[in-house]
Structure 1
Amino acid sequence: MCRVIDVRQAVLARNDALAGALRKELASRRTTVVNLLSSPGSGKTALLERVLAALVERGVPVAALTADLATENDARRLARSGAPVKQVLTGGLCHLEAAQLRGHLRGWLPADTRVLFVENVGNLVCPAAYDLGETLRVTLMSVTEGEDKPLKYPMAFGLAHLVVLTKNDIADAVDFDRPAFTGNVVRVNPGVGIVPTSARTGAGVDGLVERILAVAEGAAVHRPVMAGRVREGRLLQDAPDDVPAGQR
């Protein structure tokens, strides 16, 4: 008799178990983990550099681990903030997994770290399925990417604890439709907070920092509706009915 095994389901189940253990371990150290997801070119690194610098200036012990396919450019940029930074080269892998994160944190993460930022690989597909043991999952999108992005990537936006809009300073120049964007976010993730920011001007950075610090101090985190839609150990990529099946 042949037995069919869903390999992806088994991989995700193993990852979720490791992520849960890592989450407990870091929580015992009072370390808040912020997992940042976005497309390439969203301005994620530029914004993170601003956020790290603001936290360092406040005296908050903070660190960042940044993942990329091939270069160390992001780590060099983030290190300018004065925070401890580690680069992870994935060698072509399009996402981070909990086992990778745990391995890279051992022997590197300062014991007093209050907030650890994980800058995931630029990709809104693969990273969305992998829990890293984060406390706060933040999905970022720039105003240049189009208001329908949340509908095209419902899992990335639907599982977010917070959504950050980047490059807000050029929203008018690119005719960004803010009400349409907000409506699309709400359709896949009702009740999630949306923070408009600009790394160039610094607008919204302080507000984002305050939200992160509030979570680090124990504030409740938004619970996405999609997170509860679990079947046999894997997350379903539910989407609004009018989203084409190929984009779900």
Structure 2
Amino acid sequence: MCRVVDLQQAVLAKNDAAAEALRAALTARGTAVVNLLSSPGSGKTALLERELTLARERGLSVAALTADLATENDATRLARSGVPVRQVLTDGLCHLEAAMLGRYLDGWLPEDARLLFVENVGNLVCPASYDLGETLRVVLASVTEGEDKPLKYPTAFGLAQLVVVTKTDIARAVDFDEAAFRENVQRVNPGVEVVLTSARADDGVGALLDRALAVAQGAAPHRPVMARPEHGHGHTHEQAHSHGEGHAHDHSHEHPHDHGHGDHHGRPHDHDMAQTR
């Protein structure tokens, strides 16, 4: 058992080092990274499409990278915003890692990009343990997922620097208890801001973009009590992977794909998938 724990800690320590290097490089070039985590079906793609469209309308240089186990559906949707988008197919891997992200950005991310939105794999367990070198970590939850979601996934919500509630247009229909949800969020992450949104009703759209821009301009993000002293984005090794899922894998098989708006510098892939422009 100790050997398993040591392996997990070694994997996470290696990722932390890569995350710090990536954060420093992106900060030096003026790019802030927003790491978006949620369960599958939370509505984060719909909200992100609206935020990216708004950014383009404001004349802001932003880009997005979206990760999925399979299909390019999310990248196709996000590309409708008119901003540079890249799809990462993980072929079953349940999370992104800092070194992986760095490889996908090399030669692709526009030099003038002020914000990079990373839509992580839909999963609130594994991705929560991996720092991607982000400037802002955001956890999203829809009103359909239950008010106790933060208590069930304390690492994900406990490390969040912003919590976004989605699909509020149907909150009454699903009997969503906002007060209970907020209370549970504060139990695992005291002081973190909770933003209510509905991409369909256009409520709260722009809040995510505004918070990201503020941090990119130097505003201090919320500091979760679970975060380590070094940089405020990571995890303690006691908390990370407490669910017992170590991931010491070779991640050389992931396949990035472009969806217009820039040169394609990624590796070729063996997936025959339609790419709608």
TM-score of the superposition, structure 1-length normalised? 0.92
* 1:237 lines up with 2:239 in the alignment: yes
SS of structure 2 residue aligned to 1:65: strand
1:165 matches 2:162: no
Q: Aligned pair in 2 of structure 1 residues 62, 201: CA closer, same or farther (>3 Å)?
A: same
1:5-44 map, 5 Å:
6-44=6-44
Distance, in Å, in 2 between the alignment partners of 1:164 and 1:235 is 26
**Partner of 2:103 in structure 1?**
103
Matching residue of 2:183: 183
Letter of the 1:153 partner, please give it. Answer: Y
2:262 maps to what in 1?
Answer: none
Alignment of 1:34-183 (within 5 A): 34-183=34-183
User: What's the C-alpha RMSD, in Å, of the aligned pairs?
Assistant: 1.9
* Deviation of 1:246 (Å): 7.5
1:225 lines up with 2:216 in the alignment? no
Q: Are the equivalent residues in 2 in contact too, given 1:154–1:237 (CA < 8 A)?
A: no
Q: How far does residue 57 in structure 1 lie from its aligned partner after superposition?
A: 0.5
Distance 2:237 2:7 in 1: 14
Task: Report what 1:241 is aligned to.
Answer: none
CA drift at 1:134: 0.1
| Structure 1: runs of 5+ lacking an equivalent | 239-244
Whole-Å Cα distance in 1 between the matches of residues 229 and 187 of structure 2? 15
* 8 A contact 1:42–1:142 mirrored in 2: yes
Aligned residues: 237
The letter for the 1-side match of 2:10 is A
Q: Structure 1 residue 212: deviation in Å? A: 1.5
Identity score, percent: 70
Contact 2:35 2:137 in 1 (8 A): yes
The Cα of 1:229 is off from its aligned counterpart by 8.3
Runs of 5+ consecutive residues of structure 2 not aligned to the other structure: 245-277
Aligned 8 A contact 2:227 2:236 in 1:
no
Q: Is the 8 A contact 1:12 1:234 kept in 2?
A: no
Structure 1 residue 206: Cα displacement:
2.2
- Compute the TM-score of the two structures, normalised by the length of structure 2: 0.82
Whole-Å separation in 1 of the counterparts to 2:157 and 2:127: 11
Corresponding residue SS for 1:225? coil
Per-residue CA deviation, residues 186-209 of structure 1 (Å, 9 max, x unaligned), is 000000000000010110012222
Cα shift readout 1:123-182 (whole Å, capped 9, x = no counterpart): 000000000000000000000000000000000000000000000111111000111100
> Is the CA contact (8 Å cut-off) linking 2:9 and 2:237 kept in structure 1?
no
Deviation at 1:211, TM superposition (A): 1.4
Distance (whole Å) between structure 1 residues aligned to residue 142 and residue 208 of structure 2: 15
CA-to-aligned-CA distance 1:65-105 (integer Å, 9 cap, x gap) = 00000110000000000000000000100000001100000
Partner of 2:272: none
Residue 223 (structure 2) pairs with residue 206 (structure 1) = no
Q: Secondary structure at the match of 1:67?
A: strand
Distance in 1 (alpha carbons) for counterparts of 2:36 and 2:24:
20
Partners in 2 of 1:189 and 1:170 — Cα distance?
26
Cα deviation, residue 234, structure 1? 3.9
